[in-house]
């Protein structure tokens, strides 16, 4: 991608991330840098998997449908020449890694069960399930342990659902690995038993966009078949949204969108 268009795409991202203070709760954001956590909370009393966004001045819980995690090009590396990492792909092949430990310039996603209502209500642990992955390449979530020995939590190379436990009141980070650029949809569920012997569960899709060659915002256009009982709140009226976009320099967005469309077409022709 020529430098100028990348610059425009970046501007577009900035424009979208900026209006936190202006827009209402249902704004859609692309997060490319800083700390976020997946986790359950009782949103309006309803057990819901959300994303805690710590990239602004104040932490903010967002609906997964309003977020794209953008894996910037800075996250690109290669599968090491070490048999311990063969589960990530062929040695030397490119991978995009969001590491367990914070790295400048890439988003740092973790997961936590620390919401006070959650710690008060849930017994022992939350079960975290991966129901499926849609995307252009391999997806692996793993932990680096003592002396770096990797432990896989989820991998798209095995059958789903897969599950792991998250103790209540904990906050964990892992290594998120993607094998090719493009949009990934991670179909995730968090379930738990409550202390009063009830059951809670919620299943949502997390969008991840890998690489800088295409607009991460395009990930919002990838349709998700959401289960029926999880109807999203009614979208904002189209005109108010339009107003926000104009306020941010809609022309710029349109330019970026055109570039993206062209790039995608070319890929499609191959």
Instruction: List interacting residues with another protein (CB under 8 A).
Output: 35, 54, 77, 79-80, 82, 84-85, 97, 99-102, 104, 113-114, 116, 118-120, 124-125, 127, 143-148, 150-151, 163-175, 177, 193, 197
User: How far apart are CB 207 and another protein at their closest, in Å?
Assistant: 22
**What is the spatial order of strands in the sheet that 107-112 belongs to?**
60-63, 46-53, 34-43, 107-112, 171-173
Question: Min. distance of Cβ 148 from another protein in angstroms?
Answer: 4
Residues linked to residue 253 through DSSP beta bridges, in sequence order:
none
Residues whose CB is less than 8 angstroms from the CB of residue 238 and which lie 6 or more positions away in sequence, other chains included: none
Comparison of 12 and 79: residue with beta carbon closer to another protein = 79
Which of 203, 207, 171, 197 minimizes the C-alpha distance to 47?
203
The CB-of-111 to another protein minimum distance in angstroms stands at: 10
Give me the long-range contacts of 74-81 (CB less than 8 A, separation at least 24). Answer: 74/103, 74/104, 74/105, 74/106, 75/103, 75/106, 75/210, 76/211
Of the pair 77, 240, the CB lying nearest another protein is at 77
Tokens in use for 259?
């570039």
Task: Pick the closer one to another protein by CB: 58 or 221.
Answer: 58
Nearer of residues 123 and 232 to another protein, judged by Cβ: 123
The least distance separating another protein from the CB of residue 119, rounded to whole angstroms, comes to 3
Question: Minimal distance in Å, beta carbon 229 to another protein?
Answer: 21
Contact 150, 143 (CB under 8 A): yes
119 or 157: CB nearest another protein? 119
**Cβ closest to another protein, residue 101 vs residue 238:** 101
Nearest to another protein of 116, 247 (CB atom):
116
> Minimal CA–CA distance to 100: which of 46, 151, 61, 136?
151
Residue 167 structure tokens: 């103790």
The least CB distance from residue 236 to another protein, in Å, is 30
In the chain, where do the E strands start and end?
29-31, 34-43, 46-53, 60-63, 67-71, 76-78, 94-98, 107-112, 122-134, 139-144, 150-155, 162-167, 171-173, 175-178, 182-194, 199-210
DSSP 8-state code for residue 149 = -
The least CB distance from residue 181 to another protein, in Å, is 18
| CB closer to another protein out of 94 and 250 | 94
Q: Which residues pair with 242 in a beta bridge?
A: none
Work out how close the CB of 32 gets to another protein at its nearest, in angstroms, rounded to a whole number: 14
Report residue 46 as tokens: 């309803």
């Amino acid at each position: 991608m020529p430098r100028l268009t990348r610059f425009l795409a970046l501007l577009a991202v900035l424009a979208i991330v900026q209006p936190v203070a202006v827009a209402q709760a249902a704004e859609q954001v692309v997060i490319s840098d800083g700390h976020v956590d997946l986790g359950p909370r009782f949103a309006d009393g309803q057990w819901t998997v959300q994303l805690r966004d710590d990239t602004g001045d104040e932490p903010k819980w967002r609906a997964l449908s309003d977020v794209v995690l953008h894996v910037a090009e800075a996250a690109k590396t290669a599968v090491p020449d070490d048999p311990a990492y063969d589960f990530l792909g062929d040695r030397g092949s490119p991978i995009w890694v969001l590491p367990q430990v914070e790295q400048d310039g890439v988003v740092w996603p973790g997961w936590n069960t620390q919401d006070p209502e959650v710690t008060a209500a849930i017994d022992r642990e939350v079960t975290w399930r991966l129901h499926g992955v849609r995307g252009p390449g391999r997806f692996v979530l793993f932990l680096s342990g003592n002396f770096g020995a990797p432990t896989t939590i989820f991998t798209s190379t095995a059958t789903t659902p897969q599950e792991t436990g998250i103790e209540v009141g904990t906050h964990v980070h892992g290594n998120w690995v993607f094998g090719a650029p493009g949009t990934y949809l991670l179909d995730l569920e968090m379930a738990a038993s409550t202390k009063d012997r009830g059951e809670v569960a919620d299943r949502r899709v997390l969008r991840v966009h890998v690489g800088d060659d295409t607009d991460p915002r395009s990930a919002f256009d990838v349709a998700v078949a959401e289960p029926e009982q999880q109807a999203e709140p009614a979208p904002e009226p189209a005109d108010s949204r339009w107003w926000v976009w104009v306020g941010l320099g809609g022309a710029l967005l349109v330019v970026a969108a055109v570039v993206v469309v062209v790039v995608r077409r070319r890929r499609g022709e191959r």
